Amino acid sequence: MRLQDKYKELRNTSAALLATNFYNFETLEGVLQAAVQSNSPIILQLTRSSIEYMGLPMAFQMAKTAINYHGVKAWIHLDHGDSYDLAAKCLDAGFDSIMIDASEKPFRDNISTTKKVVALASKYDACVEAELGYVAKLGQSTEKEGFTMPEEASRFVNETGVDALAVAIGTSHGFYKKEPRLDLERLARIREVTNAALVLHGGSGVPHTTLTKAIAAGVCKINLATEIKNIFMKTLKAKLENETEIDLRKVFPIATEAVTILVTEKLNVVNNK
């Protein structure tokens, strides 16, 4: 099933898809094990940095092979694609879905950039996600206001034809200094006036009860990255503290398993279990 069709199927349910970033074989395996054990579909996301780290063919083929090997339903998605060229390369490689993030450009430029990518992606029958509003990226100020406006969201989706829209309703990327407060009324209003699947970026650190409320108010996809990196590295560090073993195949699994436990918990939340 195409991701865009899965989103449509989810629209009137109380469930969403979890979209997890992966960075290497171990985090990919950790995430997919959770999907296998939960018998749950999942989105695997790659950012430009992860693509540059592993190389596009390696990153994509590794994910594709792992999906087939484990027999899970999963889609490969470009997270925060920052250019038409990167989107084109990922579509050529076989990605199911791409995000074009022109959210820092003025509204009209965001529309025109997104529109071009939607036209390209349609040739591949791929799904497109865009972003409207200000969701602080890592290192950016979380003080700056820039919530998505429902009327603009409606115009944006109609003019661009995107399948999914990342909205700014109070989340940001990375860990939070204080508990995020989401504007769920705004979210519900955006859902009323658009037919795109709504995406919540910055899922790390958002309380599970809040995630459930966001899904009930219309979110179809929840992005999770920071918590995955964090649990992997923390577990590995603790393991290495008093470790003399140099066989990395005996060292890494504990960190991979920690990712599986984390992602299993999140899958229970998005699957409303």
Chain contacts with ligand 13P (rule: CB under 6 A) = 79-80, 173-174, 201-204, 223-227
Sign (positive or negative) of CA dihedral 112, 114, 115, 121: positive
Of 123, 129, 127, nearest in space to 81 by CA: 129
Q: How far is the CB of 143 from ligand 13P (least distance, A)?
A: 17
85 is annotated as an active-site residue: no
Q: Is the Cβ of residue 226 or residue 235 nearer to ligand 13P in the bound state?
A: 226
Backbone angles phi, psi at 113, to 5 degrees: -65, -45
Q: Is the Cβ of residue 77 or residue 186 nearer to ligand 13P in the bound state?
A: 77
Spatial distance between the Cα atoms of 160 and 51, rounded to a whole number of angstroms: 26
Q: How far is the CB of 101 from ligand 13P (least distance, A)?
A: 9
Q: How far is the CB of 175 from ligand 13P (least distance, A)?
A: 7
Contact assessment for residue 194 and residue 153, using Cβ atoms and an 8 Å cutoff: yes
Q: How far is the CB of 146 from ligand 13P (least distance, A)?
A: 16
Give the list of residues 6+ apart from residue 246 with CB closer than 8 angstroms, or none: none
Question: Exposed (0-12), middle (13-18) or buried (19+): which is 133, by Cβ within 10 Å?
Answer: buried
> In the structure encoding, which two tokens stand for residue 140, read together?
């950016």
Question: Exposed (0-12), middle (13-18) or buried (19+): which is 28, by Cβ within 10 Å?
Answer: buried
Q: How far is the CB of 226 from ligand 13P (least distance, A)?
A: 3
Q: Is the Cβ of residue 204 or residue 271 nearer to ligand 13P in the bound state?
A: 204
Question: Any alpha helices (H) in the chain, and if so which ranges?
Answer: 3-10, 25-38, 48-54, 56-70, 84-93, 107-124, 150-160, 184-193, 208-216, 226-241, 248-251, 253-270
Give the list of residues 6+ apart from residue 19 with CB closer than 8 angstroms, or none: 42, 43, 44, 45, 77, 79, 199, 221, 222, 223, 224
Catalytic residue among 5, 79, 109, 125: 79
Would you name the residues annotated as active-site residues? 79
